Amino acid sequence: MTHNELPLFYVFHFYFFGIVGIASAIAFVTRKSPVAAALWLVNTMFCLAAMYVLLDAQFIGAIQVLVYAGAIMVVFLFVIMLLNLGHASALSDARGMSGKLIAGLVGFAILAQVFALTRAHVPEALTLPENALANQFARSGAIAPLAGPLFKEYLLAFEVTSVLLLAAVVGAVVLGKRKERIRAH
C-alpha cells in the first residue's frame, strides 16, 4: 500500500505519535530534573513502539516497550535514585499551573485516543482469518530470523551489554554508599 491508499486513521496516528515523540524528546533534553527527563524518555519510547505497531512490526513494538521502556528505564531510574539526583526541590517541572495544564492536555489526548480506537472501523483487508497468525508462525518461523542472529552472531555483544548494565548498577551503589559515608562524618 502506498501513502495515499492507507486509511486516514493510520496516517493520522502515525503523524500524531511522531509529533508527540519529537515533543517528548525535546522535553527530555530540556528538563533539569533527571527523574523528569527519564520519564519523558519513556514517553518517547512508547511513541516509537506505537509507530512500529502502525508500520506492522508488532514484535519490534512489543520489544521496544518490554526492553527499552521497561527494563532499561527501570535501571536508569534505579541509578538516578541511588545517586540521589532527583531532589524534591529540583522537581519543579510538574508544579504550577503549566504542569497541571500539560497533565490535563495529555490526559485528554489519551482519552481521545481511546475513544477513537474503540470507534475505529477496521477495513476488511486488515483482518486476519482465524488461526492465520499461528499458522504463519508455524510455517515461516517468524521468530527464528530475529532470535537466530541474537543468540549466534551477536551473543557476545548481548552479554557484554548485560555486564555493562550490571557494572553501572554496582557503580551507582558504590557511589551512593560513598556519599552516605561522607555525609555521616
Q: How confident is the model at residue 100 (pLDDT cuts 50, 70, 90)?
A: confident
> What are the residue ranges spanned by the domains of the chain?
1-127, 134-185
Please give the pLDDT value at position 81: 75
Please give the pLDDT value at position 20: 92
One-letter amino acid for residue 141 of the chain: G
Q: What is the mean pLDDT of residues 48-68?
A: 85
Q: What's the grid cell of residue 107?
A: 490526559
Please write the tens of the pLDDT for every residue from 113-124: 777 767 766 666
Higher pLDDT among residues 26 and 56, named by residue: 26
Q: Over 70: is that where the pLDDT of 91 sits?
A: no
Q: What's the grid cell of residue 174?
A: 558504590
Determine the Cα–Cα distance for residues 15 and 71; give it in Å rounded to an integer: 27
Q: Over 80: is that where the pLDDT of 158 sits?
A: no
Q: Over 70: is that where the pLDDT of 7 sits?
A: yes
| Kind and range of the H or E run holding 178 | helix 155-184
| Kind and range of the H or E run holding 143 | none
Q: What is the DSSP string of 39-55?
A: HHHHHHHHHHHHHHHHT
What CATH architecture applies to the domain 1-127? Up-down Bundle (1.20)
